[in-house]
Amino acid sequence: MKRGLVAVIVTVVFLSLAVSVYSETLKTKDGRVFHGKVLEQDNEKVIFEVMRFGATIRTTFSRSDILSITSGDNEPEPVKPPKSSKEKTSTIDIAPEPPSPPVIKYDKPTYYIIPFEGKVGTRVLASHLERYLEDAMKRKPSVVLIVFDSPGGIINEVGKLVAVIKKYNSRLKIVAYVRNALSAAAITGLACREIYFEPQAVFGAATAYKMTVFGLPEAISEKFQSVWRAQARSAAEIGGHNPLLAEAMIDANMELYLVKNTGSELTIDSSRYVPGQRTPDRAEPRIHKIERSARRGKLISARGKLLTLTSSEAVDCGLGKGVVDNYDQLGKKMGFTGWVECKGHAVALDEHWEKALSIYMKRINDLGLEFNRNMMKAMESNPETPNITYKYYRNTGKFTPESRRRWRILSRKKSICLLKAEKNITEAIKITQKVEQLSSVTENLDILLKYVNDARMDVIADMNKAGPDG
């Protein structure tokens, strides 16, 4: 990442010095003109360095192909970087964090609220969760409520979140209070030993994807799907829940049935049946594997669909401990009648991060839109577009002068657009580098910067290398 930033900075410096450094002009007998400087020459060849579109290209010319080499008043044709009146990132102003409230001793049972709202990986972070739980440790509440209201997000963050919950499960009574928890949020919630649901809650549908730069989702390969399923099973085991429920939230090929005999049972398709396996009778919900012909009960997850549970279904399956309307009902259900909120630092810190994140992401999103526009213009200027026809001389296979000019004009336009796109990414990196919580975004931006830079270098190389036009 730092190498990419240095490359851009060096490029800008070289562009500003181009007029004084590259003061020689090489003309070929077929009409091409290059501005730069001679590095080496002898009776047979000349090695000439050219500054084009933010990059230096060394080209070797045969003496027999050179018409003239002059120096003095000729200027090069560098692409100037887009003008910027002020560094936009400098206008980002974030208020300081709120102070931590004093630790209070209560004479009643208490609950400590930790918000789990918004996208996992940006709004919800493992580093924040651990900080909140550390604050809860100081205050010693009766129960820590992780309040889930999240559509999911980056699956790479889930393993970290689950590890934090596992670390504190033995130190605090951690309870998941679910308003909505989908995808990455649902799998994280499985690590909690007790889960309660609001009446309209939805839980599951753990679609696996990764976030690309500027917040675009991208499907992941089967290799990572397998890792994701293993993470989900592990989270369920940490929370003491049946791992098949977790896997069905990810694997659309599973079928689950809810059966009530001596207890509530879940059954799946024959591909998971183990001949001769005997499951002891128990009153509590359990997973029971049976033959396809013996299927019975209520279908809760059809083949071809990811398992998504309502609050009542989650309780029927044994995943949920109960359905409640509010914190007061939850307290009564858990045996903490008359409990009160333990005022901590988590809610205030979460609100502060939400405001700061909205400021950061607004600027990044603006840069993302500008980046997309520049990339679209680069595609429109692609000299290899199929609808563009180039003419060649039959006897040599070289471009005609008109075709050569067309190729170079389009290449120049594409290079300019790609250079502007690089500037968009570089500005976004400057923002994310200042914020530790956005490190995963920085990594993705760094990958994209290298991709765009390589694409621009390829355009320049294709424009200058020996080809059909000689």
Q: Comparing C-alpha atoms, which of 464, 381, 457, 466 is closest to residue 54?
A: 457
Q: Which pLDDT belongs to residue 442?
A: 84
pTM of the model: 0.66
Q: What is the mean pLDDT of the chain?
A: 79
In angstroms, what CA-CA distances link 262 with 267, 269, 279? 14, 21, 12
Contacts 24+ apart (CB under 8 A), 12-17: 12/81, 14/51, 14/56, 15/51, 15/54, 15/78, 15/79, 15/80, 15/81
Q: Which pLDDT belongs to residue 419?
A: 94
> Is residue 81's pLDDT more than 80?
no
> Is residue 212's pLDDT more than 70?
no
- Higher-confidence residue of 229 and 84: namely 229
Residues contacting residue 328 through CB under 8 Å, at least 6 positions apart: none
Residue 43 has what DSSP assignment? S
pLDDT in tens, 240-273: 998 889 988 988 888 777 766 544 444 443 334 3
Q: Which amino acid is at 191?
A: A
pLDDT band at 469 (very low <50, low <70, confident <90, very high): low
Q: Which residues pair with 392 in a beta bridge?
A: 399
- Which of 126-140, 220-234, 348-362, 434-448 is the least confident region? 220-234
pLDDT band at 51 (very low <50, low <70, confident <90, very high): low
In angstroms, what CA-CA distances link 346 with 111, 264, 287, 289, 343? 12, 38, 37, 43, 9
Token pair of 146, please? 């992780």
Q: How far from chain centre, in Å, is Cα 217?
A: 7
In angstroms, what CA-CA distances link 243 with 240, 252, 342, 449? 9, 15, 33, 40
As a whole number, mean pLDDT of residues 36-47 equals 85
Q: Which pLDDT belongs to residue 124?
A: 95
- Which of 163-167, 331-335, 435-439 is the least confident region? 435-439
> Is residue 285's pLDDT more than 90?
no
- Higher-confidence residue of 34 and 429: namely 429
Residues contacting residue 101 through CB under 8 Å, at least 6 positions apart: 343, 344, 345, 348
Helix (H, G, I), strand (E, B) or coil at 271: helix
- Higher-confidence residue of 253 and 127: namely 127
As a whole number, mean pLDDT of residues 328-339 equals 96
> Is residue 454's pLDDT more than 70?
yes
Q: Which pLDDT belongs to residue 1?
A: 37
Helix (H, G, I), strand (E, B) or coil at 93: coil
Q: Which pLDDT belongs to residue 256?
A: 78
As a whole number, mean pLDDT of residues 116-138 equals 95
High-pLDDT (> 90) share of the chain, %? 41
pLDDT band at 184 (very low <50, low <70, confident <90, very high): very high
pLDDT band at 6 (very low <50, low <70, confident <90, very high): very low
Q: Comparing C-alpha atoms, which of 105, 102, 100, 124 is closest to residue 114?
A: 124
Q: How are strands ordered across the β-sheet holding 24-28?
A: 55-62, 45-52, 33-41, 24-28, 66-71
Q: Which pLDDT belongs to residue 7?
A: 38
